[in-house]
Each structure stands twice: as structure tokens, then as C-alpha cells.
Amino acid sequence: MQIADNKVVSIHYTLTNDDGEVIDSSRDAEPLVYLHGAENIIPGLEQALAGKVAGDDLKVSIAPSDAYGDFDENMVQVVPREMFQGVDTLEPGMEFQAQTSQGVQVIRIAAVDGDDITIDGNHPLAGETLHFDVSVAAVREASEEELAHGHVHGHGGCH
């Protein structure tokens, strides 16, 4: 069965950056299981997987525009420490939810300089070309419930 919209797909993958550093991998764990066509994975990878079948292997590089977008300097700003009332320790890498004009957004602390806190609303992989080494483990029909909910249910999927 070929990968197409509304199919449940199981893949093993290794994700690296331009320097060859491993960012993420499912190779020593359960495969990633997703509903194809439901925007459960980045668009570039979903496009690359279309038409593949169980047993296929592929290596693909995904440009930022087809992954997490370009890095947007406008999403980086310096705010006063008082914006984090009730949080005693602030360190780079910490993540918080913030209410923005686009709704709730995850922001990351990029730097701490005294009472000046640099926050970044970009996805951590924004601006990065992503390199995937993928093996298709399985492809199956989605259930009516999975299609209605827009994600996979059952073993290896969302519950």
C-alpha cells in the first residue's frame, strides 16, 4: 500500500542538521506513527514520503520553508525580568507559554543578562535545513475515528 492522504504511516528516522549532528531519532525506540495528510509532520517530509511503501528507505533534505520556517528576528525581544513573576530562576533554554496576538505561543529564554531577559518565539529548528534518513516500517488504512480526530489512535499513536 502506498503512502497517501488518510493512511496511517509508521517510520523510523534519524534527523540531523547541516553539521551532521543528530537532532532526533526513532531508531532505538518505537517508530513515529502519523496520519498522512493531516499536517501531523512537517510538510516537506510528508511530501517526500508520498507514494512510498513499507520497506522503502529515503534520505531527504528539507528547506526551512517546508519545515519550521525561516528564523524571524521579530520574534526575538528583550523583556524585563518582572515579566516572569513567580519564577525564581531563569536560564537559557527554559520554555514558557505566552498569550500573543496569534494566541498561545511557546517562547524560549535565549539569554539572561541581569534583569534583561531575551526571549525567542521561533521554533528551535526555525531557519535550519533538516536532513532525514527514513525507513518506512508500515502503511495501513486509517480508521473512521482516526480520520475524524485527525491523528492516529492505538499502539504507537496518540490516544
Q: 113-140 burial by CB neighbour count: b if 16+ within 10 A, else e?
A: eeeebebbbbbebbebebbbbbbbbbbe
What is the pTM for the complete model shown?
0.84
Residues 27 and 48 in one domain: yes
Residues 30 and 57 in one domain: yes
- Could you tell me the pLDDT band of residue 75, with boundaries at 50, 70 and 90? very high
Give the pLDDT of residue 157. 47
- Could you tell me the pLDDT band of residue 129, with boundaries at 50, 70 and 90? very high
Task: Report in angstroms the alpha-carbon separations of 111 from 49, 71, 74.
Answer: 38, 17, 16
Give the pLDDT of residue 155. 59
Q: How many domains does the chain have?
A: 2
- Domain of residue 113 covers 73-120
Cβ neighbour number for residue 80 with a 10 Å cutoff:
9
Reported as a single tens digit per residue, the pLDDT across 82-113 is: 999 899 999 999 999 988 887 888 999 999 99
Q: Indicate the residue type of 143.
A: S
14 assigned to some structural domain: yes
Residues 63 and 137 in one domain: yes
Residues 61 and 14 in one domain: yes
Q: Which of 3, 27, 34 is nearest to 156 (CA)?
A: 34
Q: Indicate the residue type of 96.
A: F
Instruction: State percent of the chain over pLDDT 90.
Output: 89
156 assigned to some structural domain: no
For the chain, what is the mean pLDDT?
A: 93
2 assigned to some structural domain: no
Reported as a single tens digit per residue, the pLDDT across 16-60 is: 999 999 999 999 999 999 999 999 999 999 999 999 999 999 999
Helices (H) and strands (E) in the chain, counts: 2, 9
What CATH number is given to the structural domain containing 144? 3.10.50.40
- Could you tell me the pLDDT band of residue 141, with boundaries at 50, 70 and 90? very high
Residues 60 and 78 in one domain: no
Burial class (CB in 10 A: 0-12, 13-18, 19+), 57: exposed
